[in-house]
């Protein structure tokens, strides 16, 4: 890995081309930011790729705090994206008061959020896309990395139909997926039929028919260059999500299949090979080191936002963040069927600085109109920052855990380590929409069960291995399961079965007894037929009863070995 000094030397030399240099001065802190500033870019080559990913069906501007903790293990310790906070600011030479600091890190988030306002919004994203298309007619390709049709109330109510309509209007040219499949295999086929663009997911096989379920490669010509786009859905969907929702489909990384398709694309005349991936950053980093012939991987799933491409061999990895906060632009120069140069910008979608696109604004208003009154209903008031993201906890997850403990009357509670969900600032109301933005899934039942202490440790060990296995190909899900009523120590450097210790029942201070049964509440069970009220009702009932929510970050988890 190059030193910081070497990196900053290169950064200074290339700032004009990437657009990053304009964001390092005092202009951002003084809030003299305009749409023109955000779009400033020196065009290069024949092809412009635009990438969005992991918007989680968020149509309107929002707040979203990046994680303060994102630990790497094995070969990626201390490497991007496992660098956060001040270390991230130092690495990229970002001023702490700048809008890069606000959008890319958790540094001073509340103060910067109040200065710079909300991010995202599909009408703002559209404005940026249309401006770049106007600048680069017949050279631009818009690609979406998935987790697009799930994550909001309107997407839940329309079963993903609202987002298909939006991305049809955006003239998206390919998409892949992950949470989309939790709409069920039949609904997923219906949605793909409604799409005006290909849904690329070549790693999904129908075991009943032994055939590919979706298209795997699409050739697109731009600027006289033949571009092959190869789609890769999240490989561990049947493990991270309910298998019964797509019972005959198998997933997987399928490294050899990808190599075969890259070679076939080259043989068919592709001059630029792009993998549109929802693998996650570390999986794609390993994939790039083992599969030859990929020029660019547009990565998704892990919600990482990195302001420069990460190069692995001859392959560039582009990470565009989540929730509509960013639009990636990479201009590529191709000669003799090779990528010989590029320019890149990770464009923050600062809502207040961008003129909304009238067409998408009208579409969003139409989609939301039947639900607006319900979504805007105030349930309680937030006195502290409520957020999700981080390897071990987030305050909104702590809120969910506390709600389950009290509303379901249990000793312990478990909440999945999901990465999606908009933040709520101190002083803001907690609305129904805020709750749905954290809970809108198709298997929301909040269960109440008995679980022995030994099984509880097994669950924690299994989830920890999904996150901290040193081989990225075995990292199968989101962040660590959130816990309520429980304290423990985790050593991320150890092997499965040996990471979790010192488990404590917080209400008594007693160690968890492996042979004792505890009442446990949780939600998002992958088991079919799970019973219980929907989690959004559980949370809503709790916050309405409390009226004011003030939660500080959970201190009951001790992390060692990092």
Which residues, in sequence order, are CB contacts of 410 under 8 Å at separation 6+? 404, 448, 485, 518, 519, 520, 521
DSSP-derived 3-state class of residue 504: strand
pLDDT at 476: 82
Q: H or E segment at 132?
A: helix 122-135
CA 41 to the chain's CA centroid: 26
What Cα–Cα distance (Å) separates residue 281 from each residue in 73, 86, 273?
Answer: 13, 21, 18
Sheet holding 429-431, edge to edge: 429-431, 378-382, 548-549
Query: Using an 8 Å Cβ cutoff, are 291 and 255 in contact?
Result: yes
CA 218 to the chain's CA centroid: 24
Domain ranges of the chain: 33-62+118-366, 376-560
What is the Cα–Cα distance from 169 to 195, expressed in whole angstroms?
10
* DSSP E strand boundaries for 369-499: 378-382, 412-417, 429-431, 446-452, 479-484, 486-491
What is the mean pLDDT of each successive set of 10 residues along the chain, which is 562 residues long? 34 35 37 89 98 98 97 94 96 96 97 96 98 97 98 98 98 98 98 98 94 97 98 96 97 97 98 98 98 98 98 98 98 97 98 97 98 98 96 96 98 97 98 98 98 98 94 89 97 95 98 98 97 98 98 92 84
Q: What is the pTM of this model?
A: 0.93
For residue 222 the two structure tokens come to 């731009």
> Is the omega angle on the peptide bond into residue 81 within 30 degrees of 0, that is, cis?
yes
Q: What is the CATH number of domain 33-62+118-366?
A: 3.60.21.10
pLDDT at 31: 54
For residue 109 the two structure tokens come to 């988030």
Shared fold status for 33-62+118-366 and 376-560 = no
Overall fold of domain 376-560: 5'-nucleotidase;  domain 2 (3.90.780)
pLDDT at 5: 31
For residue 536 the two structure tokens come to 């959004």
């Amino acid at each position: 890995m190059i030193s910081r000094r070497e990196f900053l030397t290169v950064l200074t030399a290339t700032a004009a081309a990437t657009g990053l240099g304009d964001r390092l001065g005092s202009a951002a802190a003084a809030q003299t930011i305009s749409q023109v500033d955000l779009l400033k870019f020196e065009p290069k080559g024949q092809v412009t790729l635009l990438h969005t990913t992991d918007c989680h069906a968020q149509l309107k501007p929002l707040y979203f705090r990046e994680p303060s903790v994102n630990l790497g293990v094995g070969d990626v310790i201390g490497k991007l994206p496992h660098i956060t906070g001040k270390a991230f600011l130092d690495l990229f030479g970002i001023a702490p008061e700048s809008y890069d600091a606000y959008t890319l890190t958790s540094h001073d988030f509340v103060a910067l959020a109040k200065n710079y306002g909300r991010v995202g919004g599909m009408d703002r994203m559209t404005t940026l896309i249309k401006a770049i298309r106007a600048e680069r007619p017949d050279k631009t390709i818009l690609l979406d990395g998935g987790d697009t049709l799930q994550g909001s109330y309107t997407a839940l109510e329309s079963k993903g139909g609202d987002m298909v309509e939006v991305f049809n209007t955006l003239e998206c040219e390919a998409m892949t997926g992950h949470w989309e499949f939790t709409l069920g295999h039949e609904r997923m086929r219906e949605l793909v039929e409604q799409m005006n663009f290909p849904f690329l997911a070549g790693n999904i096989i129908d075991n009943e028919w032994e055939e590919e379920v979706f298209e795997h490669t699409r050739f697109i010509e731009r600027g006289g260059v033949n571009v092959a786009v190869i789609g890769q859905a999240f490989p561990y969907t049947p493990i991270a999500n309910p298998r019964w929702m797509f019972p005959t489909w198998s997933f997987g990384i399928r490294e050899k299949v990808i190599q075969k398709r890259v070679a076939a694309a080259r043989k068919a005349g592709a001059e630029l090979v792009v993998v549109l991936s929802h693998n996650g950053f570390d999986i794609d980093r390993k994939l790039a080191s083992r599969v030859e012939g990929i020029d660019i991987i547009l990565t998704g799933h892990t919600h990482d936002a990195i302001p420069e491409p990460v190069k692995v061999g001859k392959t560039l990895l582009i990470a565009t963040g989540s929730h509509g906060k960013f639009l990636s632009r990479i201009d590529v120069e191709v000669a003799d069927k090779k990528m010989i140069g590029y320019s890149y910008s990770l464009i923050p979608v600062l809502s207040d600085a961008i003129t909304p696109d009238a067409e998408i604004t009208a579409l969003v208003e139409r989609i939301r109109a039947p639900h607006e009154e319900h979504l805007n209903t105030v349930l309680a008031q937030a006195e502290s920052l409520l957020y999700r993201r981080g390897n071990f906890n987030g305050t909104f997850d702590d809120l969910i855990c506390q709600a389950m403990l009290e509303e379901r009357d249990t000793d312990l509670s478990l909440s999945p380590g999901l990465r999606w969900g908009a933040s709520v600032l101190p002083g803001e109301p907690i609305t129904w929409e805020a709750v749905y933005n954290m809970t809108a899934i198709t298997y929301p039942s909040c269960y109440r069960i008995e679980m022995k202490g030994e099984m509880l440790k097994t669950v924690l060990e299994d989830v920890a291995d999904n996150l901290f296995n040193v081989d990225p190909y075995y990292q199968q899900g989101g962040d660590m399961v959130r816990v309520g009523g429980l304290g423990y120590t985790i050593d991320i450097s150890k092997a499965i079965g040996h990471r979790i210790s010192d488990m404590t029942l917080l209400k008594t201070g007693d160690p968890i007894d492996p042979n004792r049964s505890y009442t446990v509440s949780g939600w998002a069970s992958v088991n079919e037929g799970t019973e219980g009220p929907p989690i959004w009702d559980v949370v809503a009932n709790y916050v309405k009863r409390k009226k004011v929510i003030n939660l500080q970050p959970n201190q009951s988890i001790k992390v060692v070995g990092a």
